[in-house]
Copies of this chain bind each other. A is one copy, B any other.
Amino acid sequence: MSTSAQDGKPRPETGTPPGDIPPTEFRAAMHRVADMLADYLENVGRYPVVPHISPGQVREALTATPPQEPEPLGQILDDYQRLIEPGTTHWNHPGFMAYFAITGSGPGIIGEALAAGLNVNAMLWRTGPAATELEELVCDWLRQMIDLPQEFRGHINDTASTASLLALAAARQRPRDCAIRQRGMAGRNDLPVLTVYASEHAHSSIDKAAITLGLGLENLRRVRVDEQYRLDARALREAVAEDRVAGRRPICVVATAGTTSTTSVDPLRLIAQICREEDMWLHVDAAYAGAAAICPEYRALMEGLEEADSIVLNPHKWLFTPIDCSVMLLRDAETLREAFSVVPEYLRTTDHDVTNLMDYGVQLGRRFRALKLWMVLRAFGVNGLQERIRYHCGLAGEFARWVKAEAGFELCAPAPFSTVCFRAVPELPAKQQDRFNERLLAEVNAAGPVFLSHTKLRDRYVLRLTIGNLRTRREHVAQAWELIRGAHARVSGWVRHT
């Protein structure tokens, strides 16, 4: 065996192989990290939710050029604690009540740390047997937990945006005569305009899916909602009929169970019936409220969910799993596989009767996201998860009652889950009312202990308070309410004096 390199390249046989950092150093650093994480989670409430920093401030504090020489881990962790942790918006903060408050948990962090250690790419069963099978298993657990029939099969994506993209791609794949996978959509005179339907309140990821798939924003019909912000099934039927008359081809409805602004639930049963009649794919975006469906009383608000072709729900939103972990459940996973499976020679295996996760979407690489979800589901149990969801909804219900009872405020939408839309209603013209609420929000958020967000409902500026954080307790909601009332008094004072 010849070993001497003659070509002037560095000779691997000389010197110490460089390898990873020394094992003892890693072990010591991981123990420090264990304490850092535990300390952080115990004390996160001491930070303002949103850091008081200006754009560019974090970056400017760091070296603009890449480090040439290795640095000790201890020094990097010091910088992390000095610059990164305080420069973070604290989604773990009990006062984080904006957007949808996502929430991780101890068991989820542990799962993620172990997954990073294994560093599995479960693109094929063969390259990650446990990762593949655990992914199938935990998705099936979730299927059972939200009471869906056995035929639903699940896999995990990064985000609901990806799942909704895949759902629309499957819907586009289903009409075999279109042959879009092979022939594409441009420059064809045999292909009608393809249309997709979702309510005015469906998530912006549906727009992105329509853009990405080449369907076009203008062919995503934003169907009007009823007074409770639920898709109007009659309007949907009319829109579909109109498109058919015009020679367009309706392929998909995206219904939402828990819209982003108000958490309204579209009439799934009615929509499913229209989809059946019109041969359209029904995708249900339950990214947020799907978590609540593990409680029978909230599942009851989603009657017809079981008739969907695909459903997305995000354990990283409200099932205590660190981001990212978005579960997609499909009645007809085969159509998705037909749309996306591409097996080049270098990925061909002789394995039979296995799931190769790469076949079910855009991404070839698949990290081991099931591990953290498995740990979360076991560490809390279905009962523990239900208890937490109910506690959050209970807090939101209580907040809604405070708002309702307070002069000068109003609730702006039903609050079926843990999100409350409300606003101040000072005696001012509409535009100034909006401006009042904008200032109110800015005032509340500037204080530090809580972070709320906003939306618009019927073109009026509305505040949103959402409970989704494991660390949020009644006292934090009460504090938010006190801050809101205090800010209201101050903003009212300014208005009177200007």
Contact = CB atoms under 8 A, between A and B. Distances in A.
A111 to B, nearest CB: 8
B120 A88 contact: yes
20 contacts: A2-B401, A9-B394, A26-B109, A27-B34, A55-B125, A56-B133, A70-B384, A76-B375, A80-B371, A84-B130, A91-B119, A109-B113, A112-B115, A158-B367, A183-B216, A183-B218, A185-B185, A186-B194, A203-B364, A324-B367
Contacts of A7: 397
A296 interface: no
A324 B161 contact: no
B114 A116 contact: no
A76 B379 contact: yes
Nearest to A350: B442
Interface residues of A, number: 198
A329 to B, nearest CB: 14
A303 interface: no
A432 interface: no
A309 interface: no
Contacts of A172: 214
Interface string A463-485: 01000001101100010010000
A351 B53 CA distance: 12
A260 interface: yes
Contacts of A3: 398
A347 B119 contact: no
A64 B482 CA distance: 47
A379 B9 contact: no
A486 interface: no
B40 A117 contact: yes
A59 interface: yes
A21 B379 CA distance: 8
A492 interface: no
Contacts of A181: 211, 216-217
Contacts of A184: 185, 193-194, 210, 214-219
A414 interface: no
Interface in A423-472: 453-456, 464, 470-471
A489 interface: no
Question: Which of A26, A36, A64, A92 has the most chain B CB within a 10 Å cutoff?
Answer: A26
A112 B110 contact: no
A104 interface: yes
A387 interface: yes
A382 interface: yes
Interface string A148-162: 000000000011111
Interface in A219-275: 219, 247-248, 260-261
Contacts of A187: 191-194, 247-248
A343 B456 CA distance: 13
A211 B339 contact: yes
A337 interface: no
A95 interface: no
Question: Which of A77, A114, A185, A478 has the most chain B CB within a 10 Å cutoff?
Answer: A185
Contact of A35 (B27, B68, B88, B107): B27
B144 A87 contact: no
A38 interface: yes
